[in-house]
Amino acid sequence: MKIAFLTDPLSQFKTYKDSTFAMMREAVRRGYTVYAFGPADMALEGGKVIASISKITLTGDSEDWHRAEAPQALPLSAFDAVLQRKDPPFDMEYIYATYLLELAEQQGARVFNKPAAIRNHNEKLSIAQFSQFTAPTLVTRDEQRIRAFHHEHQDIILKPLDGMGGAGIFRIRADGMNLGSVIETLTLNGSRTIMIQRYIPEIVNGDKRILLIGGKVVPYALARIPQNGEVRGNLAAGGVGVAQELSARDLEIAQTLAPQLYQRGLLLVGLDVIGDCLTEVNVTSPTCFQEITQQKGVDVAAMFIDALETAVSGR
């Protein structure tokens, strides 16, 4: 196969933990050829979706890890698979990229995850489709609704709908200190919708990332445990990742969502679960492959490439 990765700049990769790198390495191990490009490299020209794409060679060096050939303008339909691995923020440029990728699909490209499915599954709001698994949740820009929710639940989390890595997450306790300021900041004075949830105390045991690949559940989660008084377990916010077996509740959530999300065109999904509650459905560029592999010996990248081969072959 020829696999093209739509991703962030390769110079930003931390190869010891990067899941996209793990995918590339496994693909190359199987004899496949890998390519890379970014959103700015795409264009609609002459009615065709093309991109300036570079062939990538892996060096085996953890620091100077790749060589990139001079980019060529190629139609995305020239590849066996195009893997959408661009991190949020999920802004208008991200949405425009999904439109171009969707046009490329109509021209014969095989894109994973499907761009329409990415666009239709906001990583925060999607949990509302599975409310039987969530903590009490409010989505609004209205200050009075937020204050009433805080009055009812006392201890709450507020977060933007388009962030990643724990950015912009606030906890407000029973005393309500700084609630007004946080509301003004996150809603941009009432002009932006945000999510508010009852605080889940089990966060001290970790924010569990559960991976769904090809409609199947990876048997271990990575619990990202907050450090130094932080409320956020995200690795990007300093959390420590501990791989662990799924609980009965984790399995119930994952096995319910896995086939449904796969049917919608989501080959790879990262569920976030705190305690017994689903908190996010990550579809843009789910991570934690390498941490689970290193700690539990389950080759998550191999599972992913297996699923990709099946999806491309139509089996």
The question of whether 173 is a catalytic residue gets the answer: no
Spot the catalytic one: 209, 234, 250, 291. Answer: 209
Helix (H) or strand (E) holding 281: strand 277-282
The question of whether 119 is a catalytic residue gets the answer: no
Spot the catalytic one: 86, 114, 124, 208. Answer: 124
Rounded CA separation 154/199 (Å): 9
Spot the catalytic one: 105, 207, 250, 280. Answer: 280
Tokens of 227: 């450090």
Spot the catalytic one: 18, 207, 272, 291. Answer: 272
The question of whether 155 is a catalytic residue gets the answer: no
The question of whether 48 is a catalytic residue gets the answer: no
The question of whether 91 is a catalytic residue gets the answer: no
Residue whose C-alpha is closest to residue 250's, from 281, 274, 226 = 274
10 Å Cβ neighbour count for 123?
23
Rounded CA separation 159/310 (Å): 37
The question of whether 147 is a catalytic residue gets the answer: no
Spot the catalytic one: 25, 85, 198, 232. Answer: 232
DSSP secondary structure, 70-119, as one string:
PPEEEEGGGSSEEEEEPPPP--HHHHHHHHHHHHHHHTT--EES-HHHHH
Spot the catalytic one: 86, 159, 198, 208. Answer: 159
The question of whether 216 is a catalytic residue gets the answer: no
Spot the catalytic one: 26, 207, 282, 291. Answer: 282
The question of whether 110 is a catalytic residue gets the answer: no
- Which residues are identified as catalytic? 124, 159, 209, 224, 232, 272, 280, 282
